[in-house]
Amino acid sequence: MNVALITGGASGIGRAIATALVLRGDTVTVADLDKRGADEVAGRLSGHGTAEAAELDVTDPDAVSALYRDVRERHGRLDLVFNNAGIAVGGRTDELTLDHWNRTLDVNLRGVIHGVHAAYPIMVAQGHGHILNTASLAGLVPAPMMLPYTTTKHAVVGLSLGLRAEAAAAGVRVSAICPGFVDTPLLDNANPDLPPTEAATNAREAALRIQRRLYTAEALARDVLRGIDKNQALIVAPASARAAWRGVRLSPEGAVRVARRGLSRLRP
């Protein structure tokens, strides 16, 4: 039985992971900016484990540190941390404002940094733990038309791999979760509280053109749990995402050409 904390746990990938963890017997804190949503998820979860809800704004470093310390103090340890909260932002680079960039950096990158900053000292002190940072396939391949998102996800991959090398000596594991397009509300709520763009409005349609069929959050959660058991550095799913990642490693320029062709298919 593990003690786990998941940010962005009220919906999508976070909710699916929380569900899988409770089913297998873990104690899970479902943290989200949407407190009502977190309460609903925690209240519905059932299995061999237990769930509790917490309100959390991952852009507030003091709040993040306070919650992580509180979970550690109440349960005696903190085994698994999923820095999962994120937003989707899309649009042509020439139509994006600095607000698009700054909001994405605040949530998708600084939110992960705040989680790492809070969790890592706890895990070093106890001599074990696993930090899982939600990145994206967009953090491994050329992903145009959503450069703020792409930039943050590449940064999360780099942060995770660098910390993984550093943390191993302390008994702490670090992984990045890199899914392809997943069927979650993220695709229906792109550019939240930001100026809309055509790419954001048509995010789900564009995702379906690229991937044909969206991966379910529940299937991804199963992949994540397997990745934890195997201590994978990068948890890349589904198979189509792994194929795309392999293509980038074989030929970066070829991957850029594929991305250009993909853009032409997205144009009306």
Burial of residue 162 (CB within 10 Å: 0-12, 13-18, 19+) is exposed
What is residue 8's DSSP assignment?
T
What backbone torsions phi and psi does residue 194 show, to the nearest 5 degrees? Answer: -130, 160
Cα(145)–Cα(220) distance, integer angstroms: 24
- Among the listed residues 68, 120, 149, 215, the single catalytic one is 149
Query: Would you give the DSSP letter of residue 197?
Result: -
What's the rounded Cα separation, in Å, for the pair 106 and 3?
Answer: 27
CA-to-CA distance for 7 and 196, rounded, in angstroms?
25
Active site residue 149: yes
What residues form DSSP beta bridges with 130? 80, 173
Residue numbers annotated as active site: 149
